[in-house]
Amino acid sequence: MDKESSVTTEQKLSDEAIIEIIDMHKWFGDFHVLQGINLTVHKQERIVICGPSGSGKSTLIRCINRLEEHQRGRIIVDGIELTNNIKNIEKIRAEVGMVFQHFNLFPHLSILENLTLGPIWVRKTPKKEAEETAMYYLEKVHIAEQAKKYPGQLSGGQQQRVAIARSLCMNPKVMLFDEPTSALDPEMIKEVLDVMIELAQEGMTMIVVSHEMGFAKSVAHRVLFMDFGQIVEGNTPREFFENPQHDRTKLFLSQILH
Amino acid sequence: MTDIAHTSQKEGIKPPVVSVGVIGWIKANLFNGWFNSVLTVVTLLFLWKTVPPFFLWAFMDSVWNTTGQVCRDAGGACWSIISSNLRFILFGFYPYDLQWRPLLAMIILFVLLYFSQNRKHWKKPLAYAWIAGLFIMGLLLRGGLFGLDPVESTQWGGVPLTLLLSVFGLTAAYPLGVVLALGRQSKMRAIKTLCIVYIELIRGVPLISLLFMSSIIFPLLLPEGVTINKILRAQMAIILFTAAYIAEVVRGGLQGMSRGQYEAAESIGLNYYQTMRLVILPQALKIVIPPTVSQLISAFKDTSLVVIIALYDLLKTTQTVLSNPEWMGFSREAYVFVAILYFLGCFSMSNYSRKLEKELSRGD
């Protein structure tokens, strides 16, 4: 990671919480995938979650915008509690952007239409205004010249940047990233991470499930380690990498930091 | 690094030429290996035995515009059965002097269909044109307004009836089928069960029996004095029947959609209807264009089954002509003619679907 592109993590965070998760449990059938998660995310905070596969990290962030339903405990996003109330769910989804491992762009729509779909139909933004916003964010992810193309014509890295821009068009308060670089060819990882770093510099609240430890070191306020459905430990990147407390964390780190 | 050194020379190299000229093509495609050679010879022999005699029958020895008596002496096809009875075959028992009205209605329909082919025209004006067109077509067929003599629907027949049953049947069955497919995927138990029961019940019954039920059993269930038009009942049977099949085809398309598409749509805050209408259905319906069109084509042909409840569609009017003693025995010619009409309808449908598929596949 470039030195100049790293973000200072020393800035003072506001005390205001934007996401509160209190003793949250989830089961897939009999499998207890999340076992009592407690997590408070502050405004503008950037959290990187890592952990072995099957540890529940993706499920955790998918619970935050209700792509998965939790069965016990509470999740409060921006003052709204996630319940079965469909109106609340839609409200939260509009406030929380999500970027997927496999991009999930809409292949039948052009890049521009991918970006304007949400604003036009959910926010009721006039088409022209939505397109201007979309172009603004496409500039931001350095891909404005592709606006008329279709997702299938773009490389993986470009598609993921479009996916980020699509979320940004909804003007979200929080961005969730579910392993945004793990489906990418190695040479495309950097272009996506650079966009995420720029986003961080602007003060976006971000929760990132990722094994990009360089990114975690330079951008995150906190790094969380999850295993067996629990948050084993969470600390500043410096402490987390240099002085891990738990044996499981140490083992995991030794496996991924060769 | 000899592996890399070649790159600059590669531009001038063309793929190897396998066959040259007509002879080369014939050799490569018709006589490569003993099995294909035998096949080619047998096919040629078959064509030699069938095609020239057919041409002789259909064109050289045929008679085109005579009475039935002359026909019996001629060696070839008797196309006179068509030319002499064309108006009855096309319009059935519709009053002879008023047959310009169904003809005009059909022309309006074809013009509308022609304009609807182009997806650029799929805007509001076209919708208004269809509404106006349907009203005018209905008025032309029924009459009773603006000084047009009323014509009972029992007198409707021939091509207009076939088109009426199929165009309305298909356009109503398609959306109903989509709704049923979505219902079958629904998380709501009651709706899901209802849709499954409907689809399986209808698919478990032949169209003929549905038509019989619509014409014989259904009226028994109505209160006394209430009657529902026979054509309408047949129309309903066709719609309900076709919709069940379309539903299963569409369900196949829905199952082909990845979970990620739903999640992406939901995560930007789209609700269920928006997700379906804007993200899922446009993709799912596109995938299933070929089987859908197969289904519609077969429904179009199945409209000919209404003969069994004594509606005079195209096939029935043709049979009626054949029962006339003057023209008895010329069924080959009559059925060839009807087959051509059906073929035109089916072929243009499959042609259009191919065009649509090509248009929609941009960006893939």
Encode pLDDT of B168-185 as tens digits. Answer: 888 888 899 999 999 998
Which chain B residue has the Cα nearest residue A154? B363
pLDDT of residue B364: 54
Cα distance between the two ends of chain A: 17
pLDDT tens digits, one per residue of B292-317: 888 888 888 888 888 777 778 888 88
B2 pLDDT exceeds 80?
no
Residue A107 token pair: 């292949």
To the nearest whole Å, the CA of A61 is away from the closest chain B CA by 12
| Of B87-91, B170-174, B208-212, the least confident | B87-91
C-alpha A91/C-alpha A122 separation (Å) is 9
C-alpha B1/C-alpha A104 separation (Å) is 41
Cα distance between the two ends of chain B: 37
Distance of CA B290 to the CA centre of its chain: 12
Contact of A33 with A26, CB cutoff 8 Å: yes
- Specify which residues A187 forms β-bridges with: none
Minimal CA–CA distance to A215: which of A237, A230, A235?
A: A237
C-alpha B178/C-alpha B283 separation (Å) is 13
Cross-sheet strand order for the sheet of A31-42: A31-42, A17-28, A72-77, A80-81
- Residue among A102, A105, A118 whose CB faces B269 most closely: A118
Are A166 and B268 a contacting pair at CB < 8 A? yes
Mean pLDDT of B194-200: 91
- Specify which residues A25 forms β-bridges with: A35, A72
- Specify which residues A174 forms β-bridges with: A96, A205
> Which residues from chain B sit within 8 angstroms of residue A98, using beta carbons?
263-264, 267
Residue B222 token pair: 């109505």
C-alpha B87/C-alpha A216 separation (Å) is 82
pLDDT of residue A166: 93
Are B264 and A106 a contacting pair at CB < 8 A? yes
If you search the block for the tokens 């849709």, which residue do you land on?
B195
B260 touches chain A (CB under 8 A): yes
B210 band by pLDDT with thresholds 50, 70 and 90: confident
Are A166 and B279 a contacting pair at CB < 8 A? no
Are B261 and A106 a contacting pair at CB < 8 A? yes
Q: What are phi and psi of A33, to 5 degrees?
A: -80, -35
B1 pLDDT exceeds 70?
no
C-alpha A223/C-alpha B8 separation (Å) is 50
Are B264 and A118 a contacting pair at CB < 8 A? no
User: Is A103 buried (19+), middle (13-18) or exposed (0-12) by CB count in 10 A?
Assistant: buried
Distance of CA A54 to the CA centre of its chain: 18
* CA atoms within a 13 Å half-sphere pointing along the CA-CB vector of A46: 25
pLDDT of residue B243: 92
- Residue among A105, A122, A151 whose CB faces B269 most closely: A122
Are A118 and B268 a contacting pair at CB < 8 A? yes
To the nearest whole Å, the CA of B90 is away from the closest chain A CA by 43
pLDDT of residue B220: 78
B206 pLDDT exceeds 70?
yes
Please report, as a single letter, which amino acid is at residue B153.
Answer: S
Asked casually if ipTM beats, i.e. exceeds, 0.90, the reply is: no
Alpha helices, H only, A30-184: 57-64, 86-95, 111-121, 127-140, 156-168
Residues of chain B above pLDDT 90, percent: 14
Q: Which helix (H) or strand (E) holds B140?
A: helix B124-142
B150 touches chain A (CB under 8 A): no
> Which residues from chain B sit within 8 angstroms of residue A106, using beta carbons?
261, 264-265, 279, 283
Rounded (to 5) percent helix, strand, coil in chain B: 75, 0, 20
Contact of B141 with B156, CB cutoff 8 Å: yes
> Which residues from chain A sit within 8 angstroms of residue B265, using beta carbons?
106
Neighbours of B149 (CB within 10 A): 10
B187 touches chain A (CB under 8 A): no
Residues near B65 by beta carbon (within 8 Å), at least 6 away in sequence: B79, B80, B83, B84
Residues near A121 by beta carbon (within 8 Å), at least 6 away in sequence: B270, B274, B278
Residues near A33 by beta carbon (within 8 Å), at least 6 away in sequence: A26, A27, A56, A59, A229
- Residue among B260, B271, B282 whose CB faces A102 most closely: B260
To the nearest whole Å, the CA of B131 is away from the closest chain A CA by 28
Neighbours of A118 (CB within 10 A): 29
> Which residues from chain B sit within 8 angstroms of residue A100, using beta carbons?
260, 263-264
b/e sequence B9-29, b meaning 16+ C-beta within 10 Å? eeeeeeeeeeeeeeeeeeeee
DSSP 8-state class, residue B61: S
Mean pLDDT of chain B: 82
Whole-Å CA distances, B36 to B33, B44, B46: 6, 12, 15
Interface test with A, best of B267, B273, B280, B362 (most A CBs within 10 A): B267
pLDDT of residue B9: 56
Mean pLDDT of B179-198: 90
**Backbone angle region of A142, left / alpha / beta, with phi > 0 → left and psi within -120 to 50 → alpha:** left
pLDDT of residue A2: 43
C-alpha B190/C-alpha B302 separation (Å) is 32
pLDDT of residue A258: 65
- Residue among B263, B267, B363 whose CB faces A152 most closely: B363
Interface test with B, best of A65, A99, A108, A164 (most B CBs within 10 A): A108
Cross-sheet strand order for the sheet of A222-227: A96-99, A174-178, A205-209, A46-50, A222-227, A230-235
To the nearest whole Å, the CA of A123 is away from the closest chain B CA by 9
C-alpha A1/C-alpha A240 separation (Å) is 18
Mean pLDDT of B34-52: 90
pLDDT of residue B362: 63
Are A106 and B279 a contacting pair at CB < 8 A? yes
pLDDT tens digits, one per residue of B246-298: 999 999 999 888 899 999 999 988 888 999 999 999 889 888 888 888 888 88
The pTM of the full predicted model, rounded to 2 decimals, is 0.79
Name residues 67-86 of chain B within 8 A of A (Cβ): none
pLDDT of residue A1: 41
B227 touches chain A (CB under 8 A): no
DSSP A46-79: EEEEE--TTSSHHHHHHHHTTSS---EEEEEETT
> Which residues from chain B sit within 8 angstroms of residue A65, using beta carbons?
267
Q: Return per-residue pLDDT of chain A as tens, 258 residues.
A: 444 444 555 556 677 889 999 999 999 988 999 999 999 999 999 999 999 888 999 999 999 988 998 999 999 998 888 888 888 888 888 889 999 999 999 998 999 999 999 999 998 999 999 999 999 999 988 888 989 999 989 999 999 999 999 999 999 999 999 999 988 888 889 999 999 999 999 889 999 999 888 899 989 999 999 999 999 998 898 889 888 889 999 998 888 876
If you search the block for the tokens 């491992």, which residue do you land on?
A101
A91 vs B86 pLDDT, higher one: A91
Contact of A143 with A161, CB cutoff 8 Å: yes
How many beta-carbon pairs below 8 A join chains A and B?
A: 72
To the nearest whole Å, the CA of A17 is away from the closest chain B CA by 21
To the nearest whole Å, the CA of A100 is away from the closest chain B CA by 8
B217 pLDDT exceeds 50?
yes
Which chain B residue has the Cα nearest residue A113? B278
